[in-house]
Structure 1
């Protein structure tokens, strides 16, 4: 990847929200070109966090059909380069997240699946 990208993960209390947060966190730790945006700070207009919104392209990672991440960013006037939905991603597999607070073995598999899709989307965007 030539330029940094920011990932904005769902912060909702659903199993898919947890998968979104863990996948984004793992990717941000593994690649210094990937930043993770705190949606709570973004929603609260915390100074410092809002500068990131204008500096880097942002990919929204929604947990469910509510698509809150994308909606919040758009309501803030933030242009996003794309959106992914964990629920839609996992619906195409035999796996599902089971808990909103802790990952079990199946939840960890879900994280891996979602990370792979996010990486594919980042690669697609950087072409």
Structure 2
């Protein structure tokens, strides 16, 4: 499988933390995955990162329904190959994280669920 980029939520919410940890853990276990910094992407007003952002298919992992990751990338003219909305996924599992700064046992379970979502996507040809 070719390389692809993971763009996690960088929001200061419990799901933002869950998304970042899930992407970090997933990336460590998958050599074909790279991760993007959404802060750097959104701050890049001169679009110096655009060639790199267009190099790989991107999976957006949004923390909530606001879809900030998708919006930032789309505003830069970058296509998103796949999207995960963590709040919807976690709601369907009847679980939620509650702390934007620390992972407790429930938040660690949320991380595992989002990682499974990423594993399911990587099985699809991107």
The TM-score bracket by the shorter chain reads: over 0.9
Cα offset for 1:97?
0.5
Q: Partner of 2:61 in structure 1?
A: 61
Structure 2, unaligned runs of 5 or more: none
Give me the CA root mean square deviation.
1.5
Unaligned runs of 5+ in 1: none
TM-aligned CA distance change 1:47 to 1:70, over 3 Å = closer
What TM-score comes out, normalization by structure 1 length? 0.92
SS in 2 for 1:61: strand
Q: What does 1:62-77 correspond to in 2, within 5 Å?
A: 62-77=62-77
Moved over 6 A (4+): none
Residue in 1 that maps onto 2:52: 52
Deviations along 1:42-97, one digit per CA (max 9) or x if unpaired, are 11128764332011000100000111000110010001101110000001012110
The count of aligned residue pairs is: 125
